[in-house]
Structure 1
Amino acid sequence: MRGKSYTFFIASTPGKLRKVVVPAYLIHGVVMLALIGAISVTAAVASYSRMLWKVGNYNAVRHELETRTQQYRQLQATVNDTNQRLDSLQSLATEVAMTYGVLRYHPAAFDQVDNPGDSQDAFDRSIEQYTFLKRNAALIAGYSGGMHLLSPLKFADSSYTPSIWPVMGHITDSFGERLDPFSGEGAFHTGVDVASDYGAPVHATADGVVTIAETHAGYGRLVVIDHGFGITTWYAHLSAFSAVVGARIKRGEVVGYTGISGRSTGPHVHYEVRVNNAPVNPWRYMKSSAAGD
């Protein structure tokens, strides 16, 4: 039995016909292939469209995340800047009081209590008293009876009061508001920048004890000296250290060397004076050169 077939007549030239016989299974196969191809193309287009939608959605989410992250960083910088300025303003009263001799010594910190605690409490209290005396012995103006004021001249002339330039050079950036040299945005500068030759010696501006001599983010190689009564001086962007933590430093001694470590655009020393950890304007403490006392 012959299978079912289809006959097609094709006109080639005028007056002539060509007879083509095509088996039915071949026609059915072509139709099925065309249908499968159409379904495949439709599925591929749908999948590609869905992928494009996902990519677009992902890019939008990523862009929003980057925007939020940038806004958060800007807000955090603004908050830090505001807090720093607030601390500086809050320290102004303390600085004025210290400048004019309104420094009080409270002997109650060393008074004996009527009912002392156990031996461990007594030992801890003795350590605290020793630490206080060790850091502030040269500035304590108290006597056994009551409180006393430290005279303004005596405090201003004290070797524990910053009074010289940390390095010979010229000031390239002052204390207060400025444009950040890296971001170009407004920022609060917590010290003064003194430009000098690379490797120039950096001097302690007053007697004290070195509490930090290590690398800090932004500051680079940093030395911090504690002068007692809440006064500290900071020396940043050093190329090398000349002091170690715990060392007693005299005014004019070399604590490091000028460099470009940290966020720096050239050889200089970022110099800060802090009162109770709040930055104050160092310019008023820079009375003479590092060579003089």
Structure 2
Amino acid sequence: MRFGVSIATALIASALMSGDVAGVAAPAAPAAGDKPVDVELVLALDVSYSMDLDELALQREGYAEAIVSKEFLQALKSGPTGKVAVTMFEWAASTDQKVIIPWVVIDGPESADAVAAEILKSSIRRASRTSISGAIAFAIPLLEENPYHGLRRVIDISGDGPNNNGMPVTMARDAALEKGIVINGLPIMVKEPSYSTMDIDNLDYYYEDCVIGGPGSFVVTIKNRDKFKEAIHTKLVMEVAGRVPERRVVPVADTPAEPRVSCMVGERIWQDRWGR
């Protein structure tokens, strides 16, 4: 089931730690030598040119502050092992991904502080094109080949525009879902749509219908720059705790048969403007 959540609803959910536990398929048995953790979490950060420098800084600071927060550390303790394995990478074009935090285990305040410090130390860069599909494709082997065995495996994608490079985003999404990986999204909608930045209306719908997937997957949308860090905090706490936002009840007759936003909208805009 896929669904979206407002900042207000998500903040209440994370603060109270209430809601349904995300249902997931039974994980495969760990291989010999695998290290048990509650979650294997890949944090994928958009660094395309449509992200301004202020947004890029807020994104880094938001993750660093969330990881050391009281709510995050409480969520960490709620799992059977009290440990999560995390890696973070930046992405732009289909061939442009850069790991900035290699796989590391967070199991308490000391390790959380160390990871937060590494996030803030890494230099900020920007790059061309937006390939959400490339980010997902890059994340899959990170989850398949790391030395940890999590009860849940999650790709957490933040971005401010639709896929416009690489394979169609739904192909990459479906490949991840086939492996039992959950994809959550953080669509960033703090600017008015602009011709020069490839922004679209209803990016939250695009993420809900075309990007996220898997049991308990969800979207936290940022529509206010002042709520940037709060949204990251909310999403990260829910992911670690295995919680999901309160579901929106949608009558069957109102359920759209097709995505509300074309899953190829980014590719079409790019083709219309630049013809390649």
Q: Larger strand proportion, structure 1 or 2?
A: 1
1 or 2 for the larger relative contact order (CA 8 Å, sep ≥6)?
A: 2
Which protein is bigger by CA-based radius of gyration? 1
Q: Larger helix proportion, structure 1 or 2?
A: 2
